[in-house]
Amino acid sequence: MSMRWIAALVAALWMSACSNEPPECAAGSDGCPCEAADGCDEGLVCMDGTCTGPRELTLSIPGEARACEVLLRDGEAQVASIAFDGASGAHVREAPLTSVSFSAPSDAAIAAHAVRVQVVGEGDFTIERSRCFDSSGRELSGASVGIGG
């Protein structure tokens, strides 16, 4: 047997072992289609039918505030979800806007990282408007919510 023939046989066997088919993409996995009801594996969010890992930013809340209403607008990044930890809250998304309302669980300042915004994409979103209220329910003049780290 000639060396060329052996080399050709090895190359043919190696090529037959390789598949041109793309790897299977499991629904709910990162970069794959979302599962039913926009479900994704833990830590991922469903955006435009694809599961992806979000970045997380916090909202900066004035210390005297006991409740706030915030309207977020997508920019280069899209708001994917809102998480509340140390505050009671709710959000409604109607792209490109997300409305967020939250309050302190008692008559105390809302914790620094109580409201976490999960975003997908590079860049930021903007705060279209916000207003906060004190423990008596009065609007706090000049108080505004910002984007933290």
pLDDT tens for 81-114 read 899 999 999 999 998 999 999 999 999 999 988 9
Count of CB atoms situated within 10 Å of the CB of 82: 21
d(CA 35, CA 42): 12
33 prior amide bond cis, ω within 30: no
d(CA 29, CA 104): 35
Q: What is the mean pLDDT of residues 42-51?
A: 86
Percent of the chain with pLDDT over 70: 84
Helix (H) or strand (E) run with residue 46 in it: strand 45-47
CATH topology of domain 55-149: Immunoglobulin-like (2.60.40)
The pLDDT score that the predictor gives to residue 8 is: 52
Q: Is the pLDDT of residue 61 over 90?
A: yes
Residue range(s) occupied by CATH 2.60.40.680 in the chain: 55-149
